[in-house]
Structure 1
């Protein structure tokens, strides 16, 4: 696996120097300041490549921008409304410009309205570390009593609805504002910042869009962009829903192995594949992640390795970001499956035999608690996760470990 690190650009409190000291091999970034639906120009791409290549003192960093995460897909494209055709044209032009700059992997997602959802961005653990958390009762309190979505109470079990009413009643105005802000935070560094009215407006437009319709819109999008990606030699890869179950009455189309299989079969082009995120998919107990890697690995273009702990057994329940070797995903089995796929690719002569991986998210520990970087993206917490993942990779590839990955 090629070890990469997500960087949100010059304003990121985790610097290029920090990445270099972490020993990563490549950088994952995006032009978050460019509005969705707008072309990423060659000049903007070149500028991001330039700053990635320099340390604070002007010395070469030895790093390069290798993976885009994310080239955003607009709500107009997802809903097939408004300027959606112009936005697809802009997406294709951006893809072309990225290819000409030498970038070959582009991650995107097709989640409606919000890119990811948590109710707490700094949940305190018994150790004193903090992490991101999704609390289903808090979310129900937001959905039913703050957003006041019509029919929201019908989306939750009766006991959750009752608990949410009590919890909301016990919140002061500051707590309610904080909860709402956490839920609509979306992707850190994104150009958009949704208000509650924005969310309500989007939800109203999605009311007529079923899961089948949204999946059809994704297939239509890929039918447009995947042939171009194949021609350019670029691998595009869809990130799963986060969390991988319905929220706010919105459809979900990238939450399970069956979802990915349907889309890949519909647009069967090798350049169009998967960002396999063990954290997002791991919030569903019925997702077999090592098995998904074995069965779908041929089309896995990018890996996010992280872990979550599901706090309740029921579907759609609470969870929080666990340590990389904790939580519900067997990370040793997962990495074993990844290494086996890489060996298979190498034997087949594929140029993409080393799949880029980044240690996704991390708990805020030690000086992270003072630095207060992007939620989920601390320096030391991610470095700890990367070190743990490196240890597994090194052990499984060592000659003393007989039959590793076989």
Structure 2
């Protein structure tokens, strides 16, 4: 695996020096400051490359921008409204500029409205570490009582509605504001900032967009961008829904193995690939991560390795982001599957035999606490995760083992 690390630019509290000392081999980043739908110009791509190429003392870092995460797909494209065709052309132009700059792996997502959703960004564990958590009752309280989405109550069982009402009644105003902020007021690295009314308006725009419509729109997008990617040598990799189940009445089309297989088959070219995120997919009990890697590995262009622990076995339920070797995904089995796929690629002579991987998210530990970094992206917590994953890889790759 190629060991990469996500970086949010100069404002990131985790520096280039930190990454270099962690033993990172490549960088995953994006031009988060640019609005969705805009073309990423060559000069700004070059500026980001220059920023990560130097350490604080001016010496070369030896690091390069290797994976884009993310090149955003606009809501107009997803709903096929407004200037969606112009946005597709801008997306293709950005892809061409990235490729001309030497970057050939682009991660993106097709999730409506919100890139990911958590109700707590610093949930305290018994060890004193903090992590991100999705609490289904808190989310129902937000949806029904704070956002007051039309039809929200009907999306939950009587038991969940009752518990959400009780939970909401116990919250003071600061906690209600904090919950709303955690869910919608801004995502790490995103240029957009959403108000409650912004979200209501966006949800209204999705009223006619069913699962079937979103799938069709996704396939239309793939038919426009994948042939270009194939021609110029770019590998596209769609990230799964996070969490991988329905929320806010919105459609979900990248939550299961069947979803992945259908998207790949829609435009059956090697450039049309996937980001296998073990944390997002692991929030559903019916997703078999090592099996998915075995069956879909040929199209896995990017790996996010993290672990979650679910509170139960419901498809829609609460979970928290556990240690990388903690949660309910068998990380050893998953890494073993990755190494088998890489061995197959080497035998086939594929140039992409080493799959870029990043230790996704991490718990805040030690000096991470109080640093004020991007939620889910601490320095030491991710370093710990990378070390654990690197240890698994080294053990499984040892002569006589793999």
Do both proteins adopt the same fold according to a TM-score greater than 0.5, normalized to the shorter chain?
A: yes
What is the match of residue 151 of structure 1?
A: 151
Counterpart check, 1:269 vs 2:278: no
Distance 2:154 2:127 in 1: 37
Rounded Cα–Cα distance in structure 2 between residues aligned with 1:323 and 1:357: 17
**Cα displacement string for residues 270-292 of structure 1 (whole angstroms, at most 9, x for unaligned residues):** 10100000000000000011000
State the alpha-carbon separation in 1 of the partners of residues 302 and 265 from structure 2. 19
Residues of 2 paired with 1:187 and 1:400: CA distance? 45
Partner of 1:97: 97
How far, CA to CA, are the matches of 2:398 and 2:154 in structure 1?
53
Q: Distance in 1 between matches of 2:104 and 2:146?
A: 42
Match of 2:392, SS state, is helix
Please tell me whether residue 339 in structure 1 is matched to residue 349 in structure 2.
no
Q: State the Cα distance separating 1:186 from its structure 2 match.
A: 4.8
Q: For residues 368 and 102 of structure 1, what CA distance do their matches in structure 2 show?
A: 33
* Matching of residues 170-185 of structure 1 within 5 Å: 170-185=170-185
**1:31 matched residue in structure 2:** 31
CA distance in 2, matches of 1:266, 1:400: 40
Residues 178-218 of structure 1, C-alpha deviations (whole Å, 9 max, x = no match): 00000014530211011110100011111111001001111
Post-superposition offset of 1:68: 0.2
What TM-score, normalized to structure 2?
A: 0.99
Paired residues of 2:185 and 2:195 also in contact (CA < 8 A): no
Partner of 2:358: 358
> For 2:95 and 2:148, how far apart are their aligned partners in 1?
39
Aligned twin of 1:15: 15
Q: How far, CA to CA, are the matches of 1:315 and 1:292 in structure 2?
A: 18
What CA distance in whole angstroms lies between the structure 1 residues aligned with 2:285 and 2:332? 17
In the alignment, structure 1 segments of 5+ residues that lack a partner are none
**What is the 5 A alignment of 1:58-77?**
58-77=58-77
Quote how far apart the aligned CAs of 1:313 are: 1.7
Deviations 1:100-138 (A, max 9, x none): 000010000000000000000000011110000000000
Aligned to 1:231, the other structure's residue is in SS state helix
Does 1:137 find its partner at 2:169? no
Q: Deviations over 1:10-55 (max 9, x none)?
A: 1000000000000010000000000000000000000000011000
In the other structure, the counterpart of 1:285 is 285
Contact 1:114 1:186 in 2 (8 A): no
Partner of 2:307: 307
In the alignment, is the contact (CA less than 8 A) between 2:293 and 2:334 conserved in 1?
yes
CA distance in 1, matches of 2:129, 2:177: 24
Name the residue aligned to 1:200.
Answer: 200
1:115 aligns with 2:115: yes
> Could you say which residue in structure 2 is the equivalent of 1:367?
367
The 5 Å alignment of 1:215-254 reads: 215-254=215-254
Classify the secondary structure of the residue corresponding to 1:367.
helix
- TM-score scaled by length of structure 1: 0.98
**Alignment partners' CA distance in 1, 2:375 and 2:185:** 10
Counterpart position of 1:395: 395
Q: Give 1:358 deviation, angstroms.
A: 0.1
1:315-326 matched pairs, under 5 angstroms? 315-326=315-326
Paired residue secondary structure (1:139): helix
- Asked whether the 8 Å contact 2:132–2:375 carries over to 1, the reply is yes
Deviation string 1:225-257 (CA, Å, 9 cap, x unpaired) is 000101110001000000000000000000001
- CA distance in structure 2 between the aligned counterparts of 1:253 and 1:306, rounded to whole angstroms: 21
Partner of 2:187: 187
* Number of residue pairs aligned between Structure 1 and Structure 2: 402
Match of 2:258 in 1: 258
Give the 3-state SS of the residue equivalent to 2:108 in structure 1.
strand
Aligned mates of 1:73, 1:45 — CA distance in 2: 18
In structure 2, distance between residues paired with 1:178 and 1:234: 40
Q: CA deviation at 1:400?
A: 3.7
Conservation of the 8 A alpha-carbon contact between 1:112 and 1:251: yes
Cα displacement string for residues 53-83 of structure 1 (whole angstroms, at most 9, x for unaligned residues): 0001111000000000000000000010011
